[in-house]
Structure 1
């Protein structure tokens, strides 16, 4: 079985050691490199082209947001997991806006981190329940803002306003449910859940879509 190739960019030695130790427990994942600053980290990603990059936000040289933006521009297929202590609304939304696939807080358990790596590798978006409420609040705020605008057409409403199903799924994410659990509770497929989550992130301005960002700014949906 081909292993999942991972690069870790983390400037705290103890955190880096903990990540390496946890990942070594899973024989299907291989750390092919690590870096302790953003400049070396980005160079390593471009050189090694791993399946997944695990990136901290607060890095010297280049921060995790900058690295994610640049690597997604050069290799959109590379998966990015943000692993950080930062739970500020602006940072969370910016991370998804530049293309992050998953967002974890550093107090995540080792077993859960392994699970997130596998989920992200398979194309899932994993949002730590501790910050998922930020996405929910932003979605509701954006929906209210766009709905109150005069003269906006139905297509734009469909583009930004979350459907009842999307709000339902987002609330389940906030409550800590995984994609498979959401699918089971709503009697839909995991693929459908993934599609809804993708749409949710797009609508709150958290998709890696330049056109969406332009529309958001034009209609006052971005802070």
Structure 2
């Protein structure tokens, strides 16, 4: 296998250094660039045209999931593995739906990142072993014990009616972001955020942010 050129995108310099150290253990890979934000990451990807990219979901200026969509659209053939502190199934499912081909938690990066990169470089998909079963249940919808939110919501089935963008907005709302902050992170207008929030509330049968957060906890979207 020819040496694969890798771009690392994460907003924490120390973690980027750790990722680069792990990657350099295998001569099949070469780190050709790094970035600390989505905007810088896309710019470097366009300039360097790497074979692979390691991307964090939580970036300061934009969701890493949105960045994946943009990179896939702009660069034919690039393959992306996400390394994130988030282990919730929904984050993983959205990452793959956006076009990522691998997902590793930061907690297990030292053990699993190289394995994941090798798999992705071969054209395969890779899931952190600790997540595989949960993600399969979520993506294939074969869980025999779907979580029910009860009371103010229609459970997991209602959540499944949300669009990918609505899920992004919902997650950011539940993380405590204000409307303007969400608009800035997702590069959309305040009016569009408000429209998505109204749609989310209607689809889930909720009345306010407190109920939304409670619902998110009950379906396992947040802790």
TM-score, normalisation: structure 2: 0.60
**Aligned 8 A contact 1:54 1:83 in 2:** yes
Partners of 1:109 and 1:87 in 2: CA distance: 12
Q: CA RMSD in A?
A: 2.3
The gaps in structure 1 that reach 5 residues or longer are 145-223
Q: After superposition, where does 1:79-98 map in structure 2 within 5 Å?
A: 79-98=79-98
SS at match of 1:130: coil
Aligned residues: 146
Tell me the CA shift for residue 140 of structure 1: 4.8
Partners of 1:44 and 1:132 in 2: CA distance: 31
List structure 1 runs of 4+ shifted beyond 4 angstroms. none
Tell me the CA shift for residue 139 of structure 1: 4.0
Structure 1 match to 2:207? none
Structure 2 match to 1:123? 123
Tell me the CA shift for residue 125 of structure 1: 0.3
Cα–Cα, structure 1 residues 139 and 38, in superposed 2: closer, same or farther, change >3 Å? closer
Deviations 1:141-174 (A, max 9, x none): 3699xxxxxxxxxxxxxxxxxxxxxxxxxxxxxx
- Kindly indicate whether residue 65 of structure 2 is the aligned counterpart of residue 65 of structure 1: yes
SS at match of 1:129: coil
**Aligned 8 A contact 1:22 1:111 in 2:** no
Partners of 2:62 and 2:114 in 1: CA distance: 26
Deviations 1:175-207 (A, max 9, x none): xxxxxxxxxxxxxxxxxxxxxxxxxxxxxxxxx
Deviations 1:25-66 (A, max 9, x none): 222211000001111011111111100000000001122101
Partners of 1:109 and 1:141 in 2: CA distance: 27
Tell me the CA shift for residue 23 of structure 1: 1.4
The gaps in structure 2 that reach 5 residues or longer are 145-223
SS at match of 1:107: helix
Partners of 1:99 and 1:76 in 2: CA distance: 12
Partners of 1:20 and 1:143 in 2: CA distance: 37
Tell me the CA shift for residue 109 of structure 1: 4.7
TM-score, normalisation: structure 1: 0.60
Partners of 1:36 and 1:133 in 2: CA distance: 31
**Aligned 8 A contact 1:7 1:45 in 2:** yes
Structure 2 match to 1:160? none
Structure 2 match to 1:104? 104
Structure 1 match to 2:134? 134
